[in-house]
Amino acid sequence: SMEWNAYYTLDHIYGWLDDVAAAYPNVASIVIAGKSYEGRDIKGLKISHGPGRRVIFIESGIHAREWISMTSACYVINELLISNNTQAHAAAQDYDWYIFPVTNPDGYVYSHEQNRLWRKSRRPIGNNFGVDLNRNWNSNWLVVGASTNPQSLTYAGPGPFSEPETRALSNFIRSIGDKIDLYLSVHSFGQYLLVPFGNSTGAYANYYDAVNIGRRAMGALAVRYGTLYQTGNIAEVLYLATGGSDEWVKEHVRVPLVYCVELRDRGLNGFLLPEDEILPNNQEYMDGVLELIYQAERFG
Ligand code: 0X9
Ligand code: ZN
């Protein structure tokens, strides 16, 4: 089982996903996108009430130390299937959901067992370890905000999609790509809702729709506890950085609505978000996700 007052290990999260799939066999199933460098599954849960539905895709935990991201993905699953949140249950009926709580499993295990502030994957490269899996996607790879130095926290890897984790995930995403209406890449911290791209503020076809839908959703997020998120373009409100999953999903899969979410907080505790903030973070985030869907249906 899972509660919302503690961070859990990879084994616990993966065991819980298996339990959920077993408890809701007609609706939930395990999906494995592929394997990490160290041979761990990249495991997700698919929720589907039947054929023909559009898809909402949630990718969490690509950065190992951002533990609130993994638990927020589990919380979405909880709300869609287990809780008595009627709006969430309706969203579970209306869409197929693919939710991957831990897309960098090797890094996550390492952040539990060796170094709490580990960010990257764990593939050895010379004397160093790991690639920033959010710089390794084949969209403006290595253009800005990414490094060729394997020591760097933002090492982009030797080439686009050089890493087993990004290859597996991108292949899986592509296989269902034309069905995806909404893609969330979930990180911490900073309280941002970001739209592509990471190197320009250039307005593409639905840029202003995406920003407006996002602003409305972050308004709904703020209602419960007053938590303020800033909505805007990556390059404008965060920093210049390319090769992220969000950019590739927007540019190459052409998903209409793609957001990068930076969850709590604004830096007081940063990656070490206290456990008593897990539940409120996850509750308000779910409010925001449901409002994103509602606004996307109205204006998207
Ligand atoms: O730098 C990142 O990868 C993300 N911030 S974090 O502090 N969680 O590392 C932001 C990613 C935004 N998207 C792109 N730059 N494509
Ligand atoms: Zn991150």
From 165, 262, 277, 291, active-site residue: 262
Q: Can you tell me which residue has the tokens 């590739």? A: 248
pLDDT at position 201: 75
What residues are in contact with ligand 1 under a 6 Å CB criterion?
63, 66, 134, 187, 194, 198, 234, 238, 241, 244, 246-247, 260, 262
Active site residue 262: yes
**pLDDT recorded at residue 77:** 99
Q: How far is 191 from 164, CA to CA, in rounded Å?
A: 29
- Calculate what percentage of the chain has a pLDDT beyond 70: 100
For 198-225, write each residue's pLDDT tens digit.
Answer: 998 777 889 999 999 999 999 999 999 9
Say if residue 255's pLDDT is above 90: yes
The pLDDT assigned to 300 comes to: 65
- Nearest ligand to residue 240 Cα: 1
Q: What is the per-residue pLDDT for 202?
A: 75
> What separation in Å is there between the alpha carbon of 45 and the centre of ligand 1?
24
Query: What are the start-end ranges of the H helices in the chain?
Result: 10-23, 67-77, 86-94, 105-113, 164-175, 207-225, 245-248, 278-299
Say which ligand is closest to the CA of 247.
Answer: 1
In ligand 1, which atom is closest to the CA atom of 244? 16
pTM beyond 0.95: yes
Q: Which residue owns the Cα nearest ligand 1 atom 16?
A: 244
CA distance 133 to 164: 10
- Nearest residue (by CA) to ligand 1, atom 1, is 241
Among 114, 156, 118, which residue's Cα sits nearest to residue 138? Answer: 156
ipTM of the complex: 0.99
With a cut of 90, say whether residue 15 has pLDDT above it: yes
Please give the distance, rounded to the nearest whole angstrom, from the Cα atom of residue 63 to the centre of ligand 2. Answer: 5
Average the pLDDT over 99-103 and give the result: 99
Q: 3-state class of 80 per DSSP? A: helix
- pLDDT above 80: residue 100: yes
The predicted structure's pLDDT at residue 299: 81
Instruction: List pLDDT tens digits, range 235-252.
Output: 999 999 999 999 999 999
pLDDT of residue 216: 98
Q: Which CATH number fits domain 10-299: 3.40.140.10, 3.40.630.10, 4.10.490.10, 2.120.10.60?
A: 3.40.630.10
Domain residue ranges in the chain: 10-299
Q: How far is the CA of 242 from the centre of ligand 1 (A)?
A: 9
Minimum mean pLDDT range among 87-96, 199-208, 255-264 = 199-208
> What value does the mean pLDDT of the chain take?
97
Q: Decide: 36 and 104 in contact? Cβ < 8 Å.
A: yes
Cα(221) to centroid(ligand 2), Å = 20
Reported as type and span, the H/E element at residue 171 is helix 164-175
Residue 165 has pLDDT above 70, yes or no: yes
Task: Tell me how far the alpha carbon of residue 89 lies from the centroid of ligand 1, in angstroms.
Answer: 30
pLDDT per position as a tens digit, 77-88: 999 999 999 999
Mean pLDDT in residue range 42-61: 98
pLDDT at 200: 83
With the most atoms of ligand 1 within 8 angstroms of its CB, the residue from 59, 60, 62, 63 to mutate is 63
What local confidence, expressed as pLDDT, does residue 157 receive? Answer: 98
Residue of 103, 134, 199 with the most ligand 1 atoms within 8 Å of its CB, for mutation: 134
Tell me how long the chain is: 300
